[in-house]
Structure 1
Amino acid sequence: MNMLTNYENAIKNLPLGRILTKKELLTETFLLERSGQVEIYYAPHNAYQNPNAKIVIVGICPGWTQTEIAFRTARQGLAENWPQEEILKACKKEARFAGTMRTNLIHMLDEIGLQDILALESCAQLFTCVDGLLHTTSLLPYPVFVRGKNYTGYNPSMRQPLLKKYLDAFFTAELNVYREPVLLIPLGKVVEEEAQRIIGELGRTNITCLRGLPHPSGANARRLPQMRENGADLAGQVRRFGQKACPGQVHA
């Protein structure tokens, strides 16, 4: 869903070289649709897809932090006349999971042995020197706010008509790109349930959805107990994916 061309002039009118505010971005200019207290805004975050990825990490939707970084990155790219594909790729790379969430996620993926399957020292390398193996995305392509706050996947349900429209159109198209074995890593129960539903409806046997991984948010107090409970099963799922994906070829 690349709509950057439609918003280039509006993005060029944003301030350059500083953090942007909600007052500047959550405006009628960037509003895509509204249904009751649910608002969906454009952001240049999920337009780039890595078709060669072997690992696909999926969240619910871009949050405010990702939204702001993506817009700021696009503003810089337009000011410096980067090619559009380079802008979109930079928006994705700069705005994807960072800070404590990334640290926790890497630790959990290393704990269940994903780095061994990919012949890496650590899954931290997925975000740096071997990021060609990684694609990060979300069920919903654009930032969603409910009463001005980040949408969490609940209240309303992901099955709310407006949300489901974006979910089914965007995420189905994302998954249909992949033909080789892919490990899909959902962040949270809602993402896991919806990803499994769509994978099943598409009949995509090449896509393995990791089941039972705790959400890596630092606010998830159950993360460590859940890892102790589910760690062995998660490691088994990763090993079975490795057998399907042929680890030598994955690393190549």
Structure 2
Amino acid sequence: MHKQRVVFVHGLGSFGAAAWPKQHGMALDYDALFLRRHGFHPVAEPEESDVAADVAILLDSLASPGGGHVVAHEQGAISAMLAAVERPDLVHSLVLVEPACLSLTAELPATASHRALMEPLFEIRNQLNDADYEREYFRRAFSAEAGGQETPEARRSAKRLRLQAPPWEAQLHIVPGVPTLVLTGGWEPLYEEIAAYLQETGALRCAAAGGHRPQDSADGDRIIRKFIAEVGRASSVRAS
């Protein structure tokens, strides 16, 4: 029996399969692909982020089987939504986890406040070294301390973070007709504001424990799997 494809698109930090530890087992029931976005490589030097390249990577992963489900986290949700706008025939469903889709809610208070806090840092990012930028980014975005580890991968991670474009630059649009789930961790008004906007435009909205990574909780993983299974069954019925 042909397995439906599910493509996972990471955000910042870990990438590829490492970004989705609770979802590895979905490969038993689905043709699961765990992508690496542009500039994310285990050993190569990081590159400037490129949303168009991320969209191309995602669409290429969906092209050969005739489409599939897309599960995306934070900045990865930007390329996921853009791919769905470009090729809605290939995106059977969208799961957006803590989506950093700030252009959708640019005029709303939590988003405007977040941008006012972060934009000055983005404006001077090329004047800071990687470690100082990472430290200040975590302080502003998460009220937390950055890891501070002195390993090659930690240094690449800090550089990669500094090379990411501001998430509000990508102009996003809702994709009518694509079943969408938005999953948040219930910890940050910014993501709840984005989730509420998506809910008002037709998305199913759910919350689970886990902070900025609700997909790592048992409840979050169950919500993702249930949504994809239900959409997949509905698609199979329509096709039969």
TM, length-normalised to structure 1: 0.36
TM-score normalized by the length of structure 2: 0.37
Instruction: Give the number of the structure with larger relative contact order, counting CA–CA contacts within 8 Å between residues 6 or more apart.
Output: 1
